[in-house]
A and B are shown apart, each in its own frame.
Chain A
Amino acid sequence: MNRKNILTLVMLVTLSACASTPVQPWEKGVLANPDMAPESSPLTSSLDDHIYFSKEGTSGGRGFAGGGCGCN
């Protein structure tokens, strides 16, 4: 799958989501669970990001790629 196809697929999924029936406030009990936050384990994420930043050629995506250490 080339780059353009991947982007198109992701955009379609995102846009199709916007077209669905809005979830009402009283239906959001499950979503309110902290486990459902996109970043539900920030410490774990930051440790993982640092490992992969120092071992691989790509960083960022979820958040800022940044710099911050001399490990890469």
Chain B
Amino acid sequence: MKNFKNLSVALAGATACLSGVANVSAAETLDKNDFGNWDIKSAILFYNESDRVQAIEPVITATKQIDTDEFLSFKLVVDSLTGASASGAVPSTEAQTFSTPSGNDSYTTPANETPLDPTFFDTRYALSASWVKPISRFTKLTLGSNFSNEFDYLSLSSSALLAHDINNRNTTLSIGVSAAFDTIDTVGGIPVAFGRQLPEGQEQPRQGEEDDKAVIDVVLGVTQVLSKDSLLVFNYSFSQADGYLTDPYKVISVVDAASAKPIETLYENRPDNRTKHAVYTQYKRNFSGNILDASYRYSTDDFGIDSNTVDLRFKYRLNEQSFLKPHIRFYSQSEADFYTPFFVDGSQPLANNSSSFATADYRLGEFTSTTIGLEYGRDNVRRPWSVALEYYVQSGDEPDNTFGQLANQELYPDVDAVMLRINFDY
């Protein structure tokens, strides 16, 4: 009977994963009769890109069972970033000097190197809470809220998820809605679309101090028990973002039509709305205690980015209390319709032309990425823990319209990162 009850919790987890509030699912590992005690889980991630971003991200969750099938959870995340980030500008055979986002300072990129903005640093604090409450024998409601703050960005969101079991609890239908309101208070102010970046100390082209955006997400899900040792998740999700979707810290180089040497740097501009559709399916199967976790996601949006993601994990049990979990993930995306690695002089939009869109942000270009990782852990012990080491590499094709000095430059260098993650349950 206990196992049956636990399955109900597991299926709640199936739908809770829709909520995007990860700590909700922490409830699923609680003992059903463990009233009153807080279940504490923690993790810390060390993320290191070669010559670029370094991040340390500790996270802790606390979950308490407050009634039968009713849980309250809190999660705290601290995300500390330092390092350098690609600005979008192209490399040149000569050293280039750029103004920092504040406009009060500058940095110089050596010849033949990708311009990286070295002022990239931030600390983000995020607190989320969720409440899982049964509203009938077969229906559960999960309410969540999230607050996230960094020195130039504030995000507030709320979500509601309804999950209903049918078919002798072999099928869970769910619907979730989330609304997020974000405010960006850009260092130096919001740049004018395609405004020219001026030397340090001069007044940069700005159109205000801050801007905002709203994001509405809707997720419809089905979790189906396939057999006594396998299940399938299928989600359709819709996302609508409206407001300021430009990255105020990204720029685009304008290059000379003959030599392809950069002659000026413009601030980018993206559309002010974005609609995304995604389907996600996940298959889990237990092979004599070893667990396959396979998922696939297809996403498309009106930026023009279509992506495919395949994620495979296999938890291989070494013995009753320890396991190895290899992980591999493949991701590919097409480029946004308005992605351009540079402007040839004469083709760039005029400053303030907010009806034209362009970005040189490599993350909106066409690329593939691969993650390979291995986790070792101890579970079925009083204080479970695990350590995972992962390698991530992102590769894009060089643009085919290069000329002049750009023909000898690397415009889309690989980005790779090493990640170390430690999980510990108290």
Contact = CB atoms under 8 A, between A and B. Distances in A.
B299 A30 contact: no
Nearest to B283: A13
A69 B307 contact: no
B19 A63 contact: yes
Contacts of A64: 18-20, 159, 176, 178, 217, 219, 237, 239
A28 to B, nearest CB: 4
B164 to A, nearest CB: 15
Given A6-B279, A56-B333, A61-B237, A66 B222 contact: no
Contact of B297 (A22, A34, A61): A61
A72 B246 CA distance: 9
A66 B122 contact: no
A6 B222 CA distance: 17
Interface of B: 2-7, 9-10, 13-14, 16-26, 28-29, 41-43, 45, 47, 57, 59, 61, 75, 77, 79, 81, 122, 124, 126, 146, 148, 150, 152-153, 155, 157, 159, 167-171, 176, 178, 180, 182, 184, 213, 215, 217, 219, 222-229, 231-235, 237, 239, 241, 247, 276, 278-282, 284, 286, 291, 293, 295, 297-301, 303, 305-307, 309, 315, 331, 333, 336, 363-364, 369, 388, 392, 394, 415, 417, 419, 421, 423
Given A22-B168, A57-B336, A33 B26 contact: no
Nearest to B81: A71
A20 B225 CA distance: 9
A6 B308 CA distance: 11
Going nearest first, the 10 A-B pairs with the smallest beta carbon separation are A70-B153, A39-B17, A63-B20, A64-B20, A37-B13, A42-B22, A46-B22, A32-B6, A61-B280, A64-B217
Q: Which among B18, B124, B170, B388 has the highest number of chain A CB atoms within 10 Å? A: B170
Interface string A10-38: 11011001101011111111111111111
A69 B124 contact: yes
Contacts of B57: 47, 50
A40 B425 CA distance: 14
A7 B236 CA distance: 10
A43 B77 CA distance: 10
A20 B307 contact: no
B150 A62 contact: no
